[in-house]
Chains A and B, each alone.
Chain A
């Protein structure tokens, strides 16, 4: 099955700086890559996603890039704010398949 690796496991940034989280996947058939944000005591919530026919997608302060050749994708958060502090999970899914394969998560702390 698919194997998703995520780095770093923890990340601390100063408010206003940028944060980057990277994921790699193993199955070249994966074609859908969502990112989820999980706040303490809550379930994960989708923040952005990208499909394999697109190299980059941006939504205000967050962006995701995908390199299909290298099988990696990244989440970029610019102008970080304290409310961005949470655990972020990447995931990969094979279109028409049954599973989302999640990374191990990155705990992001934005220091005011």
Chain B
């Protein structure tokens, strides 16, 4: 079974530039999550989708971050304009169920460095 795919693995940009990350969850997984993991910290949820609808985006900085899940499968997370404090690993995860009752499967992450 293929795992959660993310790209790019690494991205370096200047502040105020824009960046986009892509995620392809495990086939059949209804729920997709984007987490931000700052160095030395645990993952923090940015946004959760169930199929193509947003379940929770309360911690997404909506003035600069946006995300969509096309046709309930792939998802894209965009940052525009980027700030220095956005330097982090962006983890995509998916789960089979609709609620937090089971395992999250994480991708390998996209490491963003903002200079």
CB <8 Å contact, B42 and A89: yes
> In this complex, what residue of A is CB-closest to B89?
A43
Tell me the residues in window 65-112 of chain A with beta carbons closer than 8 Å to chain B beta carbons. 89, 91, 93-100, 102-105
Count of interface residues, chain A, beta-carbon cutoff 8 Å:
26
- Distance in angstroms from A4 CB to nearest chain B CB is 8
Count of interface residues, chain B, beta-carbon cutoff 8 Å:
21
Tell me the residues in window 61-115 of chain B with beta carbons closer than 8 Å to chain A beta carbons. 91, 93, 99-101, 103-104, 106-109
Among A34, A43, A97, residue most surrounded by chain B Cβ atoms (within 10 Å): A43
Residues of B within 8 A of A100 (CB): 43, 45, 100, 104
Residues of B within 8 A of A94 (CB): 100
CB <8 Å contact, A105 and B40: yes
16 contacts between A and B (CB under 8 A): A32-B101, A42-B108, A43-B93, A43-B106, A43-B109, A45-B106, A46-B103, A91-B42, A95-B100, A97-B99, A97-B100, A98-B100, A99-B56, A103-B42, A105-B40, A105-B41
B interface, CB within 8 angstroms of A: 4, 40-45, 48, 55-56, 91, 93, 99-101, 103-104, 106-109
A interface, CB within 8 angstroms of B: 4, 6, 32, 34, 36, 41-46, 49, 89, 91, 93-100, 102-105
